[in-house]
Each structure stands twice: as structure tokens, then as C-alpha cells.
Chain A
Amino acid sequence: MNHDMHTTTDAADTRMNELLARARRRAWTGPDHAPRVEEHLKGITMKEQSKPTLTRNAMILIGVGVVATGSLAAAVTRSVLGHHATIVAGDGQQYDVELSETADGASGSFVTDDGAVYDIDMTEQGGQKNVTVDINSPTGGTSTVILDNGASPRITTLPGQTARIEITENKADGQKRNDAESDGGDN
């Protein structure tokens, strides 16, 4: 009697599990979008067309929106290692920037909310690591690159200027040379 009950329960469990497993294999074969959602988002986008769109156009999906007063004040880049760069904003928030591989290193771009563009280029040859950070800021401001040893070349730009910070690190003798220069209103 008990044996029959268990058999029936087991069979019901098995049957239920089969049906659930079959339902689990059902894949979505419908449309890959919802017109209702897209129309809604499009409507909002059209309303906002008058707003600046530099960041959106660049498709940089996270910006240092916290950079003080819309400038580059106290925004820093540091620890450019391997294929990553960490940008530290004025309020201490950190953003991890992925760099894509190039023939002799890695590079990547980062655009802040106020339209400043950070172009990071890293090359490594014969133990010498060169990091260039080009900063193009429409609002002007100050930027700093901080190295592991604490060296921190700083550069100030006027609105529309392009700034460049270059760091050369030679692993062989441990010496580091830091340069900062402003391209002087060439935009």
C-alpha cells in the first residue's frame, strides 16, 4: 500500500518535473523590441534635444558628473596599469576606464559630463612605460595625473584649450620624468 503511494507520488513528481523542464526550454521567438517603449523613450529624447549632447554623442556611458562646478578641478587620473586607468573625480569617486589594446599598448577615451575628453594612450617598449593623457576641456580647469610614487604633474587649461600630460616611467632605473604642458589655445 505504502509502496503504491510512493510510486504514485514519484510518478507525479517525475511528470511535473518533465513538464517544467520542457517549459524551461521555451525560448523567446518574438520581436526583439517593444515599439511602445521605444516611442516613449523617443518622445523624451525629442523633448530634450535642446540640451547639450556631447556626452551622448560620444556614447560614453558614465561620466565624471561630479567634477566640481563643471570644470576639471581636482579631477585626477592615476594608476594607469595594464589595460585599466582609474580616474578619480574631485569628490574622490573612482571610475575604472577600460583601455583597448593597440599594437604597442592600450588606449581609451573618457568623456565627462561637462564635455571634457580624456584620451589615454599607454605604450610600453623595452621596459619603459609611457602614458599620455590628452585633456580637451570646453570649460577649462585643472587636471592632475598621480603616479604610484606620488608624483603629480598638474596642468591648468583655459576654456577650449587642449592640455597634455605625459608621464614616462622607466622600469630599469626607477627614474620617472613628469612633464606637463598646455597647447595654448589651439582649439
Chain B
Amino acid sequence: MTQAACSIPTTPDPGGQPLAPCPDAALAARAAGDPELFATLYRRHFEPVAGYLLRRTGNQALAEDLAADTFLAAWKALPTYQDSGIPFRAWLLRIATNRANAVARRERVRRRVLAFLAPPDHHNPPADDTEHLYTALARLSAEHQTVISLVHLEGLSLEQTARTLGLAEGTVKSRLHRAREALKHELARTGGRP
């Protein structure tokens, strides 16, 4: 099997062409236990991962915090990366998704407790479309939030989503269908326009 490697130029490049960047897989294969190599991966992927978490949660501060958690978890889990058999970005998204799901589950419990103590005021509709969407999304199960986020907010295909989550494509397809129905229902229920 051929693995990609990095090189450094021995002579100045007159054309000014940058070297081909080191592939993620090559870096990840060597980065376990090497913080400097891992930092290269972290710098490369921080913003995309933070962006995914922003679109998933709708909350920048939370996304920033979860992105940091994701990379710290990735650093610890890096020795197991190669066993995952998926691209590095997908592996990071899987970790980020797990982190976001944990928060989503806690938030659902918290909301149920609050609803029990003080029923929600249905006469107070969401302030804008963005809040409306995220209010509705937050009411879905973590699994439904996940497929909606990966497919509709990240633009992953069903196959890519399945690989990221380690699920069969058919499972993702049926889960997405149910998630869309649930979201539609929540959008109608949580106010704003239909």
C-alpha cells in the first residue's frame, strides 16, 4: 500500500507553487502522541468543525466550546483513528456529533423539567426564522437532529452521512425521512409561520 508523505523543497521554487499539502490520513497516522503534528490537523480542521457545530446548534459560544471538546477528544482517540476506516474529517464530524448529541440530550431533559414546572408560553413565538428553526430542531431527538444537520446543514450525501455515523445508508434514509416529518411538525407547533 502506498502512503502519502510530506516533503520540503531543497531549492527555492521559482514558480512559487506551494507544495502539495500533507494528506490528512498521512498526518493522522503519525500524529498520535505528537502534539505538533496534531496541531497541523487541528489548525486545518478547526473552522470547518466549529462551523458544523454552529449550524448544528445555532449557538456560536456553544459551538466554540464543543469544537474545543472535539479536538481534545480527537487527540486522545487518535491511536484508534485508523481503525475507523473513514476520512479524517468524517471522523472529526463523528466526534463532534457525539458531543453535540450529548448536549442535545441534556437540553431535552432540562426542557422537560422546566415544562413540568412552568408550562411554556405559547403566546411568545420565536423572534426570527433562525430562532424558529433551532427551537424546533432542539425538540427533535439527538439522532434526528444529527441526520438533519449532516444532510441538510452540512450538505453531505446519504452515503457520506452513513459513513460518518457508521450506519447503513438505508438506515440514514429512513431516519432522515422521519426526522424531516418531525421537524415539520415542530415548526408548525412552535409558532411562526407554518
Which residues of A does B touch, CB under 8 Å?
Answer: 8, 11-13, 15-16, 19-24, 26-34, 36-38, 40-42, 44-45, 48, 56, 58-63, 65, 86-87, 93-103, 107-110, 119-121
Q: Which of B1, B17, B34, B43 makes the CB contact (< 8 A) with A100? A: B17
Given contacts A19-B129, A102-B11, A110-B7, 5 further A-B contacts (CB under 8 A): A34-B64, A40-B72, A41-B38, A103-B14, A108-B10
Select from chain B the residue with minimum beta-carbon distance to A109. B8
User: Which chain A positions have C-beta within 8 A of B20?
Assistant: 98
Inter-chain contact total with CB atoms closer than 8 Å: 169
The CB with the most chain B CB atoms within 10 A, among A19, A44, A63, A103, is that of A19
A-binding residues in B (CB < 8 A): 1-11, 13-15, 17, 19-20, 22, 26-27, 29-30, 34-40, 42-43, 46-48, 50-51, 54-55, 58, 60, 63-64, 67-68, 71-72, 75, 129-130, 132-134, 148, 152-155, 180, 183-184, 187-188, 193-194
> Is A107 in contact with B9, judged by CB distance below 8 angstroms?
yes
Q: Is the CB of A15 within 8 A of B193?
A: yes
Secondary structure at chain A's binding surface: helix, strand, loop or mixed?
mixed
Give, as a whole number of angstroms, the nearest-CB distance from B85 to chain A. 19
Say whether, besides A15-B187, A22-B130, A94-B3, A32 and B47 are in contact (CB < 8 Å): yes
